[in-house]
């Protein structure tokens, strides 16, 4: 059975861009092999540097993932920071990591360009990611095309370690996720927290309705035909509605006679109903405060067993312990 590993960073309220781009594909993998899921709270320290906020984000992401269908009976689900071997392996890997390898990382350059401080943590991010993957001897790592370079760095470090200290670390293979259409934000740009244009999966009805009704549109009159291609309303509606209802909206766009306000109401109603089961499940989980912690503690105990098996071999190979 193939072992998959996926890390998700706690960065605030889960929005539908996160859901369709990362969460739903990750949850689907728990039925395809041995799945390890972790909340990447060490990674989150590069952007969230307020203790209470990070704790809240971490707890909420655990709730969100469980509500979205992650099943701890099928998958090993844990907090990254509950595994002491993660920073240990990251340090050991850093001692054989060429500077040039990190200097070529696209993600670092992109984040600096977006205004994040040029910290060592941000620069060494791929080494920590490599430790996350190699520690659990993952066979397959699901990645989008934009993350493929990080997995290539992981493989490069595993090869270099094995060449230096002996054949210890397992080389993972990439699983390039089927590309999902970019989820548009409420202003037509890509949906992103940094743009403030998100539609949250677990927001309140009043706030979400207001957001949908604020979607930017042009000034085409109600009676005039409208072009569905490029319409944020239509693009979002396609994510939720059945095919026959999508076809109906497309036809009404082209024929005219229905205004943007009516299309927005239809979008909200479909969106709200789509996520109703997830909201109800999340509310039940939230009513039992100890459940999430017990799930994460159990997952961490299982993950530590696998991590320690790897680290015994690593420590012996580098000379930190006897074989």
pLDDT digits (tens, 9 = 90+) for 257-279: 999 999 999 999 999 999 999 99
Q: Say yes or no to pLDDT of 144 above 80.
A: no
Catalogue the active-site residues.
111, 190, 193
Contact 32, 4 (CB under 8 A): yes
In DSSP terms, which residues pair with 184 in a beta bridge? 190
CATH 3.40.50.620 maps onto the chain at 3-182+289-318
Q: Is this prediction's pTM over 0.85?
A: yes
Greatest mean pLDDT among 17-26, 38-47, 188-197 lies in 38-47
Distance, in Å, from the CA atom of 71 to the CA atom of 76, rounded to the nearest integer, reads 9
Q: Tokens for 287?
A: 């009513």
Which pLDDT score, from 0 to 100, does residue 112 have?
A: 82
Given the candidates 3.30.870.10, 3.40.50.620, 3.90.105.10, 3.40.50.720, the CATH classification of the domain at 3-182+289-318 is 3.40.50.620
Which position has the higher pLDDT, 119 or 317?
317
Query: Kind of pairing, strands 75-79 and 34-39?
Result: parallel
Which pLDDT score, from 0 to 100, does residue 124 have?
A: 93
Q: Say yes or no to pLDDT of 180 above 60.
A: no
Task: Give per-residue pLDDT as tens, 213-223.
Answer: 999 899 999 99
Q: Tokens for 302?
A: 């299982």
CATH number attached to the domain at 203-274: 1.10.240.10
């Amino acid at each position: 059975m193939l072992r998959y590993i996926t890390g998700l960073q706690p960065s605030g309220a889960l929005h539908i861009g996160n859901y369709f781009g990362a969460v739903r594909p990750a949850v689907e993998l728990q039925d395809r092999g041995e799945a390890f899921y972790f909340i990447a709270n060490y990674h989150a320290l590069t952007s969230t540097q307020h203790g209470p906020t990070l704790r809240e984000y971490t707890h909420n992401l655990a709730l969100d993932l469980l509500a979205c269908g992650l099943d701890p009976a099928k998958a090993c689900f844990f907090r990254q920071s509950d595994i002491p071997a993660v920073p240990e392996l990251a340090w050991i890997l850093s001692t054989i990591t060429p500077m040039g390898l990190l200097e070529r990382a696209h993600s670092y350059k992109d984040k600096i360009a977006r205004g994040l401080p040029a910290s060592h943590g941000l620069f060494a991010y791929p080494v920590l990611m490599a430790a996350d993957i190699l520690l659990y001897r993952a066979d397959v790592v699901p990645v989008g095309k934009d993350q493929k370079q990080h997995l290539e760095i992981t493989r490069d470090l595993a090869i270099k370690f094995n060449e230096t200290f002996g054949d210890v670390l397992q080389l993972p293979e990439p699983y390039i996720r089927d590309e999902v259409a970019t989820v548009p934000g409420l202003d037509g740009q890509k949906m992103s927290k940094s743009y403030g244009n998100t539609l949250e999966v677990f927001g309140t009805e009043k706030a979400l309705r207001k957001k949908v009704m604020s979607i930017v549109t042009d000034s085409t009159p109600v009676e005039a035909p409208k072009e569905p291609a490029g319409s944020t309303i239509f693009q979002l509606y396609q994510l939720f509605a059945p095919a026959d209802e999508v076809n109906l909206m497309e036809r009404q766009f082209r024929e005219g006679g229905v205004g943007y306000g009516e299309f927005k109401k239809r979008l909200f109603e479909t969106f709200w109903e789509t996520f109703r089961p997830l909201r109800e499940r999340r509310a039940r989980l939230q009513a039992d405060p100890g459940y999430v912690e017990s799930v994460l503690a159990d997952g961490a105990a299982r993950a530590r067993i696998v991590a320690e098996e790897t680290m015994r071999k690593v420590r012996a190979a580098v000379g930190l312990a006897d074989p």
